[in-house]
Amino acid sequence: MSRAPDTWILTADCPSVLGTVDAVTRYLFEQGCYVTEHHSFDDRLSSRFFIRVEFRQPDGFDEAAFRAGLAERGASFGMIFELTAPQYRPKVVIMVSKADHCLNDLLYRQRIGQLPMDVVAVISNHPDLEPLARWHDIPYYHFPLDPKDKPSQERKVLQVIEQAGAELVILARYMQVLSPELCRRLDGWAINIHHSLLPGFKGAKPYHQAYNKGVKLVGATAHYINNDLDEGPIITQGVEVVDHSHYPEDLIAKGRDIECLTLARAIGYHIERRVFLNANRTVVL
């Protein structure tokens, strides 16, 4: 579902207590806000409540006053909320290595307006994809990785991210393991994509390994990064059925397509504030 261009997004979470839905929706009603979309979820195992509302503002809407009033209303519930304005476009940095399918797909979706974001930089440990970034008039930073001095390379990466004012980092087939330090800095606002054959087929040529084992499903997983390699909170996954007639090159081709679609879907959810972190899991509304 695409977001209407004139709606605000209100997201909030708090402990599971009586009256949480009423606290949000009644406040919106009192402020003259028209709700266009509403989703909520109460996690009975963690005893935590999550809500996402899109609404149209009334004439004379005062964002500062709205925030102050909601903070006061939600204080007794221990509510943490976030308000996102219409036409919100986060600044994004994309990290890549040599594979171009995810980068090319994301830049195309940005160009046609399907993903409302502004890619402000592309960072790579290889020079291969610079022409693609330059064609889109996006700065490209090539930082080769010296295995003996990985911290130096990561300092340069982090400097670009910070100077660009990035609000989201996308690892679009960036084939390097990030250090624990960089993972901590990017925790909760960096999205990675990988084939969902893991953890069964690690290392080189995973699709060839999968073919040799006769797998019947291939797919992709998009998740937030953390210090557990490829095991961060999952945002979304994609899968397709395959059979004996699919050779390794067929599996690879399917994998590329699923990776592009799954990554784009996860980024869209993130930009539209549909993803809540709930310990090491996600709630996607």
Would you say 117 and 271 are in contact if contact means Cβ atoms under 8 Å apart? yes
How far is residue 272's CA from residue 77's CA, in Å, rounded to a whole number?
Answer: 24
Residue 146: both structure tokens together: 């010296």
Q: Among 170, 179, 275, which Cα is nearest to 229's?
A: 179
Which residue intervals of 83-187 are DSSP H helices? 101-111, 130-135, 150-163, 180-186
Would you say 217 and 210 are in contact if contact means Cβ atoms under 8 Å apart? no
How far is residue 55's CA from residue 10's CA, in Å, rounded to a whole number?
Answer: 8
How far is residue 84's CA from residue 11's CA, in Å, rounded to a whole number?
Answer: 8
Catalytic residue check, 128: no
In the chain, the N- to C-terminal Cα span, in Å, equals 11
Give the Cβ contact number of residue 213 at 10 Å.
11
Q: Which of 42, 100, 187, 230 is catalytic?
A: 230
Which residue intervals of the chain are DSSP H helices? 20-30, 63-74, 101-111, 130-135, 150-163, 180-186, 206-213, 248-271
How far is residue 37's CA from residue 55's CA, in Å, rounded to a whole number?
Answer: 7
Kindly provide the residue ranges of all beta strands, DSSP E only, lying in 153-261, ordered along the sequence.
168-171, 190-195, 217-224, 234-241
Q: Among 279, 285, 236, 235, which Cα is nearest to 52's?
A: 285
Residue positions annotated with a catalytic role = 230
